[in-house]
Structure 1
Amino acid sequence: MSGAASSASAPASAAKPWLLDFVLLSAIWGASFLFMRVATVEFGALPTAALRVAIAALFLLPLLLWRGLGPDLLKHWKAVLVVGVLNSGIPFACFSFALLSITTGLSAILNATVPLFGAIVAWLWLKDRPHGSRIVGLAVGFVGVAMLAWDKASFKPDASGIAPGWAVLACLVATLCYGISASYAKRYLSGLPPLVTATGSQVGATLGLALPALWFWPAQAPSLQAWGALIAVGVLCTGVAYILYFRLIEHAGPARALAVTFVVPVFAVIYGALLLGEAVTGWMLLCGAVIVAGTALSTGLVKLWR
């Protein structure tokens, strides 16, 4: 993620394209929960996750080869494949499983804890110790997670056959994996072109999920709608989204790119309510606000007055 070294403030002339990339990426990643929900009902959790990364890999590989970055991928293939399992394979499988039981909006709100877990892992692993507002943010963020999880703490199966508590836990495992992979990439893949990391991670996730996906492949052929959702989440929400994300880092800086995580739940909640008829409760919105506030503080995007 060498693009993170670029200036955190975009010039005034680039403000408009930066804002467009920000809003577009937020909308695309918000839609990923909708597409995964549609696909996982027919494919199941593991096949959905495996096909998502396989489609993304097929989309990104030609771009990688066209840029002449194949040798870089071969040189760092072990570390890149590990990132793929941690950053895509396990999280996508966990979210696919969770979406069988909980709403897309709730999943997206829990996904907003990624920078929170990233800060914790960086503290413990890279010794990037938070101070002041960041410590307060960690506490506030975890209070928000506890409030939200408490509301879904039942481990009794619901109509889907899956207990909401396990679904929430799966989302948190996914966000923890995102946090671990970020520190792993910073330690072992610094300076590597972003397209190499993005492409190699999808290949690694595909290899890691291939056998489990075949084992749990659905007995009944999925519909064209489910296949369409998978193609959309693979090409648009993974392949194109990675390109937008790294371009946003390059043009606007990592701090503003990180703020996308806070806007994604807004789009996910809107998509879920309008297209899937999902209920949006006041408690869910309150907990989401607490989580976003805590995450913004813990990442240093917002600081308390002295």
Structure 2
Amino acid sequence: MSGPAEAARVAGEPARDWHTPLQLLLVGAVFGSSFLFMRVAAPEMGAGPLVGVRLVCGSLVLLPFVWQARRQLPWQRWPVVALIGAINAAVPFLLFAWAAQRAPAAVGAICNAMAVLFTALVAFAAFGERIGLRRALALLAGFAGVVVLATAKVSGLALGPAVLAGTAAAFCYGIGMNLVKRRLGDLPPAAAAGATLSVAAVLVLPLALAAWPVQPVSAAAWSSAVALGVLGTGLAFIPYYRLIQRIGAPRAAVVAYLIPVFGALLAWLFLGEPVTVRMLLAGLLILGSVAASQRAR
């Protein structure tokens, strides 16, 4: 059955796809809200317990996709899945949660955008993919943005340690995405995400239990932790991967530009966290470098 877009095409009028930009905005907003949720929950729960709750909730959401792909996941593959789960989920989640205890949500959201550049850098250094002059310059601009952000202060507090943690987390994503592409590329994306999150949950659980807070955790922190796992770690992957399948990875990469915007905006709206001139400059440098890197592809 033909829809309005098809009818417009037949009539010679340009078809307008309103669903794609709306879905991109929705996915960007959900991923960006993850840094708001971390900022609320991390100070009360601590990094380990927060990440434990996040991984358990996220893996439970995606577990049906893992079950559907179980024949593609024999036991021989699980050591590789465990390695990728540690690099692409457990370690970066812990680093971002640690950073959220010490810096505004916008800092982690801006650092997260570096994952796109690190993915290209790791592909060049470890797998011999061409990087090109434009992408090399983009990497330099991105690192300049990190330096600008690391030397900033908010309310008299230095952001350097949190920026280093967020940048290290983005670097882990860069390694992890290359490993997912080469070692789990035959799996449905949601199944690959669910499998790696499940193993990461098992790896982080002992740390989460050992560091479980003695003081009662507020309802706001619990709600944020569960929302972080269910929405930002589980459900958001489903429309995101569908976007990749429908419009391709390069167009879906626009989400990388939206995450810092929504991360900073939501933290400003709900937590009153300031966005300084230096943070804006760092964000422009990093997002501009990501845009140049994607254009080079």
Structure 1 position 267 matched with structure 2 position 269: no
SS at match of 1:301: helix
For 1:146, the equivalent position in structure 2 comes to 147
1:73 aligned onto 2:73: yes
Structure 2 counterparts to residues 107-256 of structure 1, below 5 A? 107-151=108-152, 164-256=159-251
Distance in 1, Cα, partners of 2:120 & 2:203: 26
Residues 99 and 107, structure 1, Cα contact 8 Å, conserved in 2: yes
Name the counterpart of 2:97. 96
Give the one of 253, 258, 274 matched to 1:258.
Answer: 253
Which of 18, 34, 38 in structure 2 is aligned with 1:32?
34
Q: Distance in 1 between matches of 2:211 and 2:93?
A: 15
Amino acid of the structure 2 residue aligned with 1:301: R
Partner residue, 2:11: none
Could you list the runs of 5+ residues in structure 1 that have no partner in the other structure?
1-11
Runs of 4+ aligned residues of structure 1 deviating over 4 Å after TM superposition are none
**What percentage of aligned pairs have identical amino acids?**
38
Which residue identity is paired with 2:69? L
**CA-to-partner distance for each residue in 1:66-92, whole Å, 9 max, x for gaps?**
xx2222233532222222111111111
CA distance in 2, matches of 1:69, 1:184: 19
Aligned equivalents of 2:136, 2:65: Cα separation in 1:
41
Distance in 1 (CA, whole Å) between partners of 2:210 and 2:170 is 25
Deviates more, 1:91-100 or 1:128-137: 128-137
Match of 1:53 among 41, 52, 55: 55
The TM-score with structure 1 as length reference comes to 0.87
Correspondence 1:83 to 2:84:
yes
Q: Residues of 1 paired with 2:109 and 2:254: CA distance? A: 14
Distance 2:57 2:74 in 1: 20
1:124-145 superposed Cα distances (whole Å, 9 cap, x missing partner): 0111121131122112111111
Distance, in Å, in 2 between the alignment partners of 1:188 and 1:14 is 37
Q: Quick one: distance in 2 between partners of 1:125 and 1:261? A: 23
TM-superposition CA deviations, 1:119-169 (whole Å, max 9, x none):
11110011112113112211211111112112259xxx95xxxx6322111
Match of 1:277 among 272, 281, 284: 272
Deviation at 1:275, TM superposition (A): 0.5
In structure 2, how many angstroms separate the alpha carbons of the residues matched to 1:127 and 1:152?
Answer: 38
Change (3 A) 1:213 1:14: farther
Distance 1:201 1:13 in 2: 39
User: How many residue pairs end up in the alignment?
Assistant: 282
Worse overlay, 185-194 or 272-281: 185-194
Q: Which residue of 2 aligns with 1:105?
A: 106
For structure 2, which runs of at least 5 residues remain unmatched after alignment? 1-13
Separation of aligned partners in 2, 1:197 and 1:185 = 8
Distance 1:13 1:210, change over 3 A: farther
- Do the aligned residues in 1 keep the contact of 2:63 with 2:191 (CA within 8 Å)? no
**Alpha-carbon distance in 2 for matches of 1:14, 1:220:** 53
Q: Distance in 1 between matches of 2:152 and 2:44?
A: 28
Tell me what 2:5 maps to: none
What's the counterpart of residue 291 of structure 1? 286
